[in-house]
């Protein structure tokens, strides 16, 4: 089993390190602070604040390096990779994929990079909030753009499966657009709904009458604002397209309501969308052989993800 | 205890008839079809398809008449009231309040009408779907516009309490605006979100990645479209104002995202709105004496509702 070096041991990286160790891998990591490193060491894990040493060890062991630092710390991390382990097997756990791929291409161009996004999380953050079960049952997107190294692709998929996740292949830009539509936009619409419902300070009539539809529709508006901002602002261009789509549909609905009074197109469309969502809850697991022409294989993987299917773990 | 005559014994009216009977009241009702009437009679309730006879009995007994027919059947029902029991004590259980008050003023102008809206329901409809517990813990709005008869107001509040509900006084127009913001707009935003998330037919990547924020934000988009349409289209002018409020906030957010990339105003505003909602979950129950100057009492009741408080049941 390939060794794993996890850069950043907050909620996501810390959980990943634990899950990899639980699976029997040799795994080590880095932390940004002495406090985090000490906490992880006290829990029995091999975590240091010395990134260069961790990366040198990764280069020697031909380990899979996983970037799990915040997006804001990405550039500095890539500079160290390019200096110490320039040709390493590299993936990441950051929630946007085009920006990371662009940064890798610019700052660590020799790295054998395949993007990853384990779609798990809690409202908490930091090493102490993590656990090896965090990724159980979650979707783990593995980017499948032309030109990627299928050998590293296999490494990332195997890590995801060991963590209990479903592997969903996707082009980096399609991933960013998808999460804008199903994760970032929901947070913004929830915020808008909460503001409209709250209305003017001092008039709580509407809020006092609110029941299930408002409670559900605004639930994620209760998320800590800094988490939502970091998530949404990092995916700005894809999010703009999703917001424009929502604005267009809401504007058309407004026009219909004002003119004919009819809301059927909006309501029927939403009903069908929700039915389609329900139908994706139990995805097919399909096998794909990774040993053909790389660009043909990657195209097949992307097509599988677009159909809403997941990759079936291959037999060892 | 005042007798109750319930016009319309679908989900809401049928549940109300059961709850009134459970409380020990003399209660009877009407049904639009022989099938419904027979089902109710088989369950031991006094239900007929003969509206005039039911209303004549209400006039004789000085009963409280409750209109629980669909909005589309309101005009015909009011015509019978004006013909048979023109001065009856009258309330309703329809989900909009200005349109009903206007129709009563026009078609049954002598009726002693106080509007009501028990905010309960399920995805089901019809007599068989009802039960006496439907209103337990629900808000029951009782309209409190100037000029209403406080004696009938007391009747409606007492019925609501017997059904297990909280009594929330509100002006009819403020009620309609409130439900547009916290019930109708949530359904429309859920529909828009479901459509944006679903995107193009044949591309299920986004839907397959959807997790909690999308599932919660689109839950009510799974409601039967005809129920949503009846609810939303009946509250057209208040809903237009709520949609415009949402469009304005979403447009401002779009501008901020495109120019500075900042979403803080949107996200912080939504967070504060959700906090304000949470603070209304445990309303104060305050007493109001109904025996002063009627318009002063009604103003006090409206103010209580605006603060998010509920009326404390008076001692018998």
> For chain A, which residues score pLDDT lower than 50?
none
Residue B129: pLDDT band (50, 70, 90) is: very high
Residue B171: pLDDT band (50, 70, 90) is: very high
pLDDT digits (tens, 9 = 90+) for B15-31: 999 999 999 999 999 99
Tell me which residue in B205, B254, B270 faces A178 most closely, judged by beta carbons.
B205
Chain B residues with CB inside 8 Å of A268's CB?
225
- Whether ipTM exceeds 0.85: yes
Looking at residue A161, its pLDDT comes to 96
- Residue whose tokens read 């900042």: B262
C-alpha span between A56 and A61 (Å, rounded):
9
Average of per-residue pLDDT values in chain B: 96
Residues 265-284 of A with CB under 8 A from B: 266-278, 280, 283
| Alpha carbon separation from B245 to A207, A216, B185, B188, B236 (Å, rounded) | 16, 20, 10, 13, 14
> How many angstroms away from the CA of B53 is the closest CA of chain A?
36
Neighbours of B107 (CB within 10 A): 17
Chain A residues with CB inside 8 Å of B204's CB?
276, 280, 306-308
Q: In chain A, whose CA is at the least distance from the CA of B204?
A: A308
Residues 6-35 of A with CB under 8 A from B: none
Structure tokens at A211: 């029941």
Looking at residue A153, its pLDDT comes to 97
C-alpha span between A272 and A242 (Å, rounded):
19
Mean pLDDT of B128-141: 96
Interface test with chain B among A277, A280, A301, by most B beta carbons within 10 Å = A277
Looking at residue A316, its pLDDT comes to 53
| Alpha carbon separation from B125 to A4, B12, B128, B182, B185 (Å, rounded) | 57, 8, 8, 22, 22
| Alpha carbon separation from B266 to A213, A248, B196, B262 (Å, rounded) | 20, 19, 20, 9
Exposed, middle or buried by CB within 10 Å (0-12, 13-18, 19+), for B176?
buried
pLDDT > 70 in chain B, percent = 99
Residue B316: pLDDT band (50, 70, 90) is: low
Q: Is the pLDDT of residue B315 over 80?
A: no
In chain B, the domains with their CATH numbers are 4-170+283-311 (3.40.50.720), 176-262 (1.10.3660.10)
Structure tokens at A264: 């059927």
Structure tokens at A60: 């020697």
Is A263 in a helix, a strand, or coil?
coil
Answer yes or no: are the C-beta atoms of B285 and B310 closer than 8 Å.
yes
| Alpha carbon separation from B199 to A166, A171, A178, A232, A276 (Å, rounded) | 22, 16, 9, 19, 10
Structure tokens at B90: 């009258």
C-alpha span between B225 and B236 (Å, rounded):
16
Looking at residue A314, its pLDDT comes to 84
> How many angstroms away from the CA of A45 is the closest CA of chain B?
31
pLDDT digits (tens, 9 = 90+) for B219-249: 999 999 998 998 899 999 999 999 999 999 9
C-alpha span between A51 and A30 (Å, rounded):
6
Looking at residue A315, its pLDDT comes to 66
pLDDT > 90 in chain B, percent = 92
Residues 148-177 of A with CB under 8 A from B: 168, 170, 174-175, 177
Say if the Cβ atoms of A187 and B246 lie within 8 Å.
no
């Amino acid at each position: 089993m390939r060794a794993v070096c996890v850069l950043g041991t907050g909620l996501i990286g810390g959980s990943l390190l634990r899950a990899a160790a639980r699976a029997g891998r040799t795994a080590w990591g880095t932390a940004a602070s002495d406090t985090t490193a000490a906490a992880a060491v006290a829990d029995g894990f091999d975590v240091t604040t010395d990134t260069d040493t961790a990366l040198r060890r990764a280069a020697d062991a031909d380990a899979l390096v996983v970037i799990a630092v915040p997006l804001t710390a990405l550039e500095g991390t890539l500079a160290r990779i390019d200096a110490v382990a320039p040709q390493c097997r590299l993936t990441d756990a950051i929630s946007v994929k085009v920006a990371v791929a662009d940064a890798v291409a610019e700052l660590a161009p020799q790295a054998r990079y395949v993007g990853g996004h384990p779609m798990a999380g809690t409202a908490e953050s930091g090493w102490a909030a993590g656990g090896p079960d965090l990724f159980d049952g979650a979707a783990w997107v593995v980017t499948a753009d032309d030109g990627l190294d299928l050998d590293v692709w296999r490494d990332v998929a195997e890590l995801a499966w060991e963590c209990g996740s479903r592997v969903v292949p996707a082009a980096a830009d399609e991933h960013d657009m998808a999460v804008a539509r199903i994760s970032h936009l929901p947070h913004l619409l929830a915020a808008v709904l909460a503001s409209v419902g709250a209305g003017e300070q001092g008039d709580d009539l509407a809020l006092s009458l609110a029941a299930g539809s408002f409670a559900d529709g605004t639930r994620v508006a209760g998320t800590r604002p800094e988490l939502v901002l970091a998530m949404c602002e990092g995916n700005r261009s894809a999010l703009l397209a999703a917001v424009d789509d929502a604005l267009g549909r809401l504007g058309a609905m407004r026009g219909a309501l004002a003119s004919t009074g009819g809301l059927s197109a909006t309501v029927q469309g939403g009903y069908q969308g929700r039915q389609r969502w329900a139908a994706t809850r139990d995805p097919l697991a399909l096998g794909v052989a990774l040993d053909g022409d790389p660009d043909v294989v990657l195209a097949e993987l992307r097509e599988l993800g677009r159909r809403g299917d997941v990759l079936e773990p291959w037999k060892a």
